[in-house]
Amino acid sequence: MNPSLKQVVRMLAMVPYLQSNQGIPLVELAREFKIRPAQAQRELEMMMLTGWGEFHGELIDFDVTALEEDGVVHIRDAEFMSRPLRVSRSEAAALMVALRTLRQSAAGDQAQIIDSALAKLAEAAGTDVDTSVDVLLPEVDPAVQSAVAEALASKRQLHMVYANDTRDEQSERTVDPHRAFTQDGHRYLSAWCHKVEADRLFRVDRIVAANVLDAPVTTDAASRTRLEDLFPRGKDLPTVVVDVAPEAEWMVEQYRMEVLSEHPDGSLRARMSGSDVSWLRRIVMRAGGRVRVVEPADFAAEVRGSARAALAAYDGDVREQGA
């Protein structure tokens, strides 16, 4: 295992360890993970730049005064990761397929980063990067792909020529790019179109030409679109009622949730809808206890059963089943 991968694995294990050993001396932490105290402190400083968001309370934090003056470690705002990360072979394979999908639409520095991640993941899983799984997406002009990536990264407007297959015509338009994503085998660009003054989805493989403008975007992606609103809702969309903890309130903005009431402790009761029941179950379980199902009762029982099975498999009580 190369040094950088070893460091990532060590830091992933260090977070839950510190949560269970608050106030541990830095020298003892270094001894536990078989590194020098100076290196342990550098890695703690690196952790302060990581988390599930980008604002205060969303990034891992430490009591800097206690660390610098007393040499002891107190970790904060890391409840989202209470166990060390371990990846099974099947999980590694799924991640590699996802990365290969992303690689098909990457350009420039993005492609190099993905290639590096693929190599490290393959090494950790004991497999080969050149897996027999091929991920094929519609071909996209590399110049278009680079322009889209640059516009997103620099938050500048994009001028493009777009082909509409249903009307067999091309149109020119200027857009504020918000997000690029892959869905059902196609690469999409979610953007605010200045021509029609509305949010629109564009198939990237149908962009004939594109160039990045000097003008900055004039609309905010976070306030205009949500990941779950990029595609229309079905008429029989399943819903569940959940209680959302204060530290997971961001999920109300990110997913389809209708707030029903607020509790004195700052938590929310909301009705959450999704594409199917299995998707809803995954979202609830992914929240790690910060989202609790209230109703229906049978769905709550199903989530509890799935969570117990997952924890048992994690702890080695249940062997991973083959496909």
- Residue 10 belongs to domain with CATH number: 1.10.10
Place 228 in a pLDDT band, splitting at 50, 70 and 90.
very low
What is the domain extent for residue 308?
Answer: 230-314
Same domain (yes/no): 216, 235: no
CATH number at residue 171: 2.30.30
Residue 54: count of CB within 10 angstroms of its CB: 8
How far apart (Å, rounded) are the C-alpha atoms in residues 234 and 69? 58
Residue 139: count of CB within 10 angstroms of its CB: 9
Domain count, the chain: 4
How far apart (Å, rounded) are the C-alpha atoms in residues 81 and 6? 19
How far apart (Å, rounded) are the C-alpha atoms in residues 145 and 203? 11
Is 293 among the domain residues?
Answer: yes
Predicted pLDDT of residue 108: 62
- For the stretch 183-201, what's the b/e string if a residue is b when 16 or more beta carbons lie within 10 angstroms of its beta carbon? eeeebbbbbbbeeeeebeb
Residue 256 has pLDDT above 80, yes or no: no
Same domain (yes/no): 64, 107: no
Which residue would you say has higher pLDDT here, 80 or 265?
265
CB distance 240 to 295 below 8 Å? yes
What 3-state DSSP class applies to 132? coil
Which residue would you say has higher pLDDT here, 99 or 281?
281
Predicted pLDDT of residue 318: 43
* Tens digit of each residue's pLDDT (9 = 90 or more) over 90-129: 666 767 777 776 666 566 666 777 777 777 777 766 665 5
**What value does the mean pLDDT take over residues 234-259?**
78
Is 135 among the domain residues?
Answer: no
Residue after which a domain boundary falls, among 178, 193, 225: 225
* Tens digit of each residue's pLDDT (9 = 90 or more) over 18-47: 888 889 999 999 998 888 888 888 888 888
